[in-house]
Structure 1
């Protein structure tokens, strides 16, 4: 405790935090990752070079480009020590990240584009220029689940709007690209880190260099174990990743690169938890319950380790809740740049990723007074008994004191077997430049192809549990007043009992995407004009099964001796099965995207730009089980449902000189949205409009640097086919203002800084009644370099332990005053020792 107080006092005195989100000078390249043949000619750090390599035809200086981009370098990755990838991405201007779900399952949007359900529908996450998944919002398979930012990452680069519509499929809002190190710099690092006030231990390493004058390599990875950020009483995070690449460069200026990745990591997934709300809808106060902290607690518990259910073939299986978000990824890829004549190159990227795993996490369907919950299940006078934990079998004599708060949660366990999210992607392009008078003409033509599998089984079940944190929660059995069992080991039914027995489903789908694209750019001195087109066409094939399809597709509930004891209990009369009859999926789609921009270099240090774009996003699995698909034929009932379009207009000012940079962008976007949300079982069919201003700046003077960014967004629902009452309202969880500020002081042997992440208030739901208050999160960082190759650091995340509500299931304060919400995690402090060699 003394050490903890000392660390907190030191951080507060020095305002010490670091998360240096900044634009990073780096060598030009045709696309990410960097072209090793140009690395030798890279400008020195601090030179006025700033090359954009993501979602563009060719590497372009930021001041000569009519797109908006930012990046985070590898130094900032180490200093920030983000607990999750989502926390890292909050440092990119214009990007709104609800980083409260753990290592994955973050909701990510850009410039007011909606998050009607979950994931990153209009924003694509990439590794080395290719998508992690073709669709960023696959239900229970969000892209960030299969991503880990470690020492392998050289730069994280984002492009908002603009050419993202035409240089990537299904990403009209933008692209965030994690660019890998490739061994141009000899050496590596090894780091050991651990939580000081939470249990997680981790080892990171990486090394790269030259095998010969024209061959470089890089290898890196991590392994970790522990509870994670919130105490649960077991290893809720356990696993790691390893990545490697090798590059052969040619004297002609080309290269060939092979790379691979293996990820097998179990990470707890935090879903909404109960919290009390007092005050009014317009001025609420969110208060942690006795025995349960909203920003440090979770319903996960060592006393609730497994769930008995039926698998996708309706056979009994015991599922491990501790698996949490469990990505298993084995990926191999190939990349090359081959010069074919003076100024002309062929760039080829290919990757195959074998992706599987699971998603398992408890979701409270309702939370209420323990005796009232018992009576609802077992009738008046129902009795309660512990069904797991050290008191298992004992009667709960005083339900009003249960868990210190007298509450029970009716939980639906979101348990999804991710059998295959395999994908194969290929992007090939020809680009070059032609002299044209005093300027030049750049030309690019290419073809993109991908295939994305979605093979998942939803194996949801239900149970009743206490509301306690720190891994103390236990299952609870309910019996009638006469003593007849209503539940079995806390289970009222082996189904989504508290969701009306919905959602026992099987998906076996594949989506193919093809896209020719072309770009023309004209460089005339201070003027730069460009235009690009992309024509996406694809098909959706496969089948789904589930009683949610409607009459004629089979019943979803049966009687089954699931524990095999020869006795049919009350709970075993309500067992969910996947019906045998499947519904086909069979339709094609196509759409055109385009983008055009102009950039004018006012001076060597300033520029003005403007751009208009229209991009599309093909809808995937979230259309299924809804009104847009005919369950008998698999065809679309509405051809417009296949694709949602985003139209965007943006323009602004850029300045960069002598260590000072400033970027201001005004934007307007109109978005179509058709979607499905699993937690509420609701479909959406809407139009949105958003407009605003995005600001970003940085100043570096000697030992001091300051980075800052802020985005003001005015968004509204302009049309809702299914619920016209919300038209004119602000979309849920859309704050008007988000910001980040990062001061840092760097002495020779000592570094400290501050990273402030903040948001203004927003509405919990589209009815615009219950508000989620704004909050400011301050993270802390201090590092000492006792020797040239040794760094000892301490990082404080959410230093002042603020509650930051990112999601609320209810649209107004209910009679009982308890809502289900997600908050950012409370204060966590970690220490690390890092060796460079």
Structure 2
């Protein structure tokens, strides 16, 4: 028998399953059979008719293609129950219903029944009472997964040889994530830092020691949103927003991600979008939040014919900011328009998405340690609500050799990006298909931020630290004073409530980028020593990135919405004879980069899903990839702008006018092998071994084109898992081990004394052993419980470095230390209560993270913390819902990271009373009213 063929998945959320996030299929639900739909299917080939039926009934239909392709169907027109319509369509076709679910229907060839000879007459016998019919087996929830596989034929998650997390539209609505990164907190094995705001966050998976999205790929409909998620200052989440056009999310944890997707050893997260063909209908939602948050989301999908649909959707959002910057922090949105065609054999889709949005980039805030070593806020600064960013730094001029350059902090992370996506699939027959996907991305991203450096210190202590520098420049110096740059009033301890000051960098990075990526995949199924689903594909990416980075260092007071300070030198008569600063700047041009980068990637991959026996599967895959990195960079040199009244312009970094070429080439092989044993459709066990070659990223050569410490990093990942489904509970348990070798670690530290960055690099290994758990259980009555946990032991191996102590080199050994910022234990438990026949659902999410360290030396401890989040969802009518989302209900002060500008290797521990770190946001509340038709 040929493999069954899956028509397009047509999904519409249903109240009966709204209480179970991540469930894609429920068997034998009477509501599905009785639900009515309108059909208009002419007499034609049965395979084509079944595809049309699936679209019009809003179900996924699996059937043996050769049987259907050899038959013709009768016409089917009118409104009728879905099951009755299917029975009419199948009458006399040789097919019958094997399984009828709410969203998925499976057909099989009907057995040929031979007529039995009439039995010989028997004497009448006393009839025994008929035995009562056997009770039907209770339905068991199963997930159908298509991401991260060689073939598009759906498989239940129990049949997979890797771990997957599926988040459907109902779960997205229930949780109401504030950002893309916030959504990933629902994925076991992921450590997510979403404290940067709606963009520019960090994600780590399974002990992988790299930040941003350098090891976790974000996809949209199976194609990378950005081919290289590890580009400096250009995280993938900066150019992606969640909105009403997202139908579901499928996250592959480890497994075969690195075979099918670039830069994805830790996993791939696929955002599957809604279409007018698969998801016709209209949705509209309005959100109001406690921090000036206002947002509108909408989607309209129209099926023009059974084979053609159009859609339009997007969002617009405006907010003051999760921390108050004194101006509108977040403003903008995105819109997507698409058209889709699917006749059952040929499928074609085209959509355009435009993102025009700006969001605040939140950075570490000042904190203190009390006498017992407990982290506290500083008087005059609320660490849950305040930020150093403020109106005083919204419009500031940098002095440069070519004149002033305006810096606007209110721009934050500003993305103006357009995506054009075209995809198509053609089935040559039941066994062979060609699929091609392509995306063009144009536009630019501007990232302006205020980055605190060093540590907060008292004003007098700061003056003492710079007095010798001023005395050398101005011999007549008698007194040093601090005053505000905007008004000239003296800075006193009472000025900001704490008397503290700190240095900060006003950093601006402009990154215009054009990228084209195309993926072509040929799939073929055949029978030889079992059944094979084979795929061969190629991916090509071509990107051009302009990188323009400029920075100035300023002195600020410590307060919410900090103000710039000037340090002036006075003679014995009280006359100003000079200044350390100018308009608050201690150094203009403390960083400069100008580069043009080109990256060209070519990858070939092969994969085979081999069903060797009824309960056994073997999955094999390999990938070869080559990257060519080219371009040019302009070296920088310091220039004295010649203003003798200040030291701020004595060493302004600027371009030399000459360019150094960048020419680097890397290539490597990756491979994976997995095995799955499925003793029943309710249970699955798997094991997998993956070896990955991680290639360097283009922006690693922005400032140092001739660096020799960048090379291919070999990664070995092993995992083994168990997946169980029961009618009232399910469980996923995955053990993993991750090993990185020869990975460069760079200590990129800003020195407040010289107002310049210093860096050093050490090559080291890492190893992580861990366990991921996820489960759901229906408790007594209306109670249910969802839980997930990640327990891991991430360690550095073969890590040594040298640092200067009192001018002498001292060797340090970090072998055995824990990876920075990764907790040993992350735990989430969400009890839920469904009331009024499921029309009201209340969730309370309890989150706990164990202690972490902010540096490789493990000297700065980030304490353990716990959070409580609350979600309430009420179905008002058949078309409207109301949701309430409250995060950090108890206003917990939980630190997610320290201050990277203080150094990654050794921050000096907690010897100082004051320090910078980035905490979770304070309590927020949002209310969402949604309409769906």
TM-score, normalised via structure 2 length: 0.79
Which range moves more in the overlay, 320-329 or 695-704?
Answer: 695-704
Q: CA deviation at 1:131?
A: 1.6
Aligned to 2:334: 241
What is the aligned residue count? 770
Matches of 1:207 and 1:468, distance apart in 2: 46
Which range moves more in the overlay, 514-523 or 451-460?
Answer: 451-460
1:357 paired with 2:453, answer no
Specify which of 895, 898, 920 is matched with residue 808 of structure 1: 898
Q: For residues 95 and 351 of structure 1, do their structure 2 counterparts lie closer, same or farther at Cα, with a shift above 3 Å needed? A: same
Q: For residues 159 and 218 of structure 1, do their structure 2 counterparts lie closer, same or farther at Cα, with a shift above 3 Å needed? A: same
Q: CA deviation at 1:377?
A: 4.2
Q: For residues 750 and 237 of structure 1, do their structure 2 counterparts lie closer, same or farther at Cα, with a shift above 3 Å needed? A: same
Aligned to 1:583: 660
1:487 paired with 2:581, answer yes
Aligned to 2:59: 40
Matches of 1:387 and 1:318, distance apart in 2: 17
Per-residue displacement from partner, 1:783-821 (whole Å, max 9, x unpaired)? Answer: 333332222332111111111111113634454411110
Q: Which secondary structure state, in structure 2, belongs to the residue aligned with residue 77 of structure 1?
A: helix
1:445 paired with 2:524, answer no
Specify which of 753, 770, 774 is matched with residue 696 of structure 1: 774
1:147 paired with 2:218, answer no
Q: How does 1:677-756 map to 2 (within 5 A)?
A: 678=748, 681-700=759-778, 703-720=782-799, 722=801, 725-747=813-835, 748-756=838-846
1:436 paired with 2:528, answer yes
Q: How does 1:39-188 map to 2 (within 5 A)?
A: 40-41=59-60, 43-44=101-102, 48-59=141-152, 60-115=155-210, 118-183=211-276, 184-188=278-282
Q: For residues 514 and 153 of structure 1, do their structure 2 counterparts lie closer, same or farther at Cα, with a shift above 3 Å needed? A: same
Specify which of 726, 730, 738 is matched with residue 661 of structure 1: 730
Per-residue displacement from partner, 1:263-310 (whole Å, max 9, x unpaired)? Answer: 111100011121112467xxx421111111223221111222123236
Contact kept? 1:660, 1:697, Cα under 8 Å: yes
Which range moves more in the overlay, 740-749 or 758-767?
Answer: 740-749
Per-residue displacement from partner, 1:93-112 (whole Å, max 9, x unpaired)? Answer: 11111111111221111111
Contact kept? 1:37, 1:249, Cα under 8 Å: no
* Rg (Cα) greater in structure: 2
Q: For residues 21 and 791 of structure 1, do their structure 2 counterparts lie closer, same or farther at Cα, with a shift above 3 Å needed? A: closer
Specify which of 618, 621, 624 is matched with residue 532 of structure 1: 621
Aligned to 1:774: 864
Please report the RMSD computed on the Cα atoms of aligned residues, expressed in angstroms. 2.5
1:623 paired with 2:700, answer yes
Q: For residues 320 and 395 of structure 1, do their structure 2 counterparts lie closer, same or farther at Cα, with a shift above 3 Å needed? A: same
Q: Which secondary structure state, in structure 2, belongs to the residue aligned with residue 716 of structure 1?
A: strand
Contact kept? 1:508, 1:542, Cα under 8 Å: yes
Q: Which secondary structure state, in structure 2, belongs to the residue aligned with residue 150 of structure 1?
A: coil
1:613 paired with 2:690, answer yes
Aligned to 1:674: 744
Q: For residues 683 and 156 of structure 1, do their structure 2 counterparts lie closer, same or farther at Cα, with a shift above 3 Å needed? A: farther
Specify which of 358, 364, 382 is matched with residue 293 of structure 1: 382
Contact kept? 1:109, 1:123, Cα under 8 Å: yes
Aligned to 1:791: 881
Q: CA deviation at 1:40?
A: 3.1
Contact kept? 1:519, 1:531, Cα under 8 Å: yes
Q: For residues 267 and 120 of structure 1, do their structure 2 counterparts lie closer, same or farther at Cα, with a shift above 3 Å needed? A: same
Contact kept? 1:310, 1:577, Cα under 8 Å: no
Contact kept? 1:274, 1:821, Cα under 8 Å: yes
Aligned to 2:300: 207
Matches of 1:706 and 1:250, distance apart in 2: 42
Aligned to 1:466: 557
Q: Which secondary structure state, in structure 2, belongs to the residue aligned with residue 75 of structure 1?
A: helix
Matches of 1:48 and 1:91, distance apart in 2: 19
Aligned to 1:520: 608
Contact kept? 2:669, 2:692, Cα under 8 Å: yes
Matches of 1:786 and 1:37, distance apart in 2: 27
Q: For residues 170 and 813 of structure 1, do their structure 2 counterparts lie closer, same or farther at Cα, with a shift above 3 Å needed? A: closer
Specify which of 841, 852, 855 is matched with residue 762 of structure 1: 852
Per-residue displacement from partner, 1:224-244 (whole Å, max 9, x unpaired)? Answer: 122111111111111111122
Q: How does 1:495-574 map to 2 (within 5 A)?
A: 495-496=589-590, 503-523=591-611, 524-547=613-636, 555-559=637-641, 569-574=646-651
Contact kept? 1:26, 1:50, Cα under 8 Å: yes
Q: CA deviation at 1:417?
A: 1.2
Matches of 1:833 and 1:440, distance apart in 2: 49
Contact kept? 2:593, 2:702, Cα under 8 Å: no
Matches of 1:703 and 1:174, distance apart in 2: 35
Matches of 1:417 and 1:578, distance apart in 2: 16
Contact kept? 1:593, 1:614, Cα under 8 Å: yes
Per-residue displacement from partner, 1:627-680 (whole Å, max 9, x unpaired)? Answer: 7x52xxxxx636xx3322211111121111325211111111101322546555
Q: CA deviation at 1:314?
A: 5.0
Specify which of 909, 913, 920 is matched with residue 824 of structure 1: 920
TM-score, normalised via structure 1 length: 0.87
Aligned to 2:404: 316
Matches of 2:281 and 2:321, distance apart in 1: 30
Matches of 1:449 and 1:621, distance apart in 2: 16
In structure 1, the gaps of 5 or more residues are 1-18, 28-34, 497-502, 548-554, 562-566, 631-635
Matches of 2:157 and 2:57, distance apart in 1: 18
Per-residue displacement from partner, 1:687-743 (whole Å, max 9, x unpaired)? Answer: 100111111112346744322111111111112264551111111112111122222
Q: Which secondary structure state, in structure 1, belongs to the residue aligned with residue 882 of structure 2?
A: strand
Q: CA deviation at 1:622?
A: 4.9
Aligned to 1:227: 320
Aligned to 1:370: 459
Q: For residues 210 and 703 of structure 1, do their structure 2 counterparts lie closer, same or farther at Cα, with a shift above 3 Å needed? A: farther
In structure 2, the gaps of 5 or more residues are 1-17, 27-53, 62-100, 104-138, 471-477, 751-758, 803-811
Matches of 1:726 and 1:362, distance apart in 2: 31
Q: CA deviation at 1:511?
A: 1.1
Q: For residues 459 and 676 of structure 1, do their structure 2 counterparts lie closer, same or farther at Cα, with a shift above 3 Å needed? A: same
Aligned to 1:593: 670
Q: Which secondary structure state, in structure 2, belongs to the residue aligned with residue 651 of structure 1?
A: strand
Matches of 1:625 and 1:752, distance apart in 2: 50
Higher relative contact order structure (alpha carbons within 8 Å, sequence separation ≥ 6): 1
Q: Which secondary structure state, in structure 2, belongs to the residue aligned with residue 787 of structure 1?
A: coil
Aligned to 1:642: 711
Q: Which secondary structure state, in structure 2, belongs to the residue aligned with residue 341 of structure 1?
A: coil
Matches of 2:868 and 2:447, distance apart in 1: 30
Q: Which secondary structure state, in structure 2, belongs to the residue aligned with residue 495 of structure 1?
A: strand
Matches of 1:515 and 1:307, distance apart in 2: 45
Q: Which secondary structure state, in structure 1, belongs to the residue aligned with residue 322 of structure 2?
A: coil
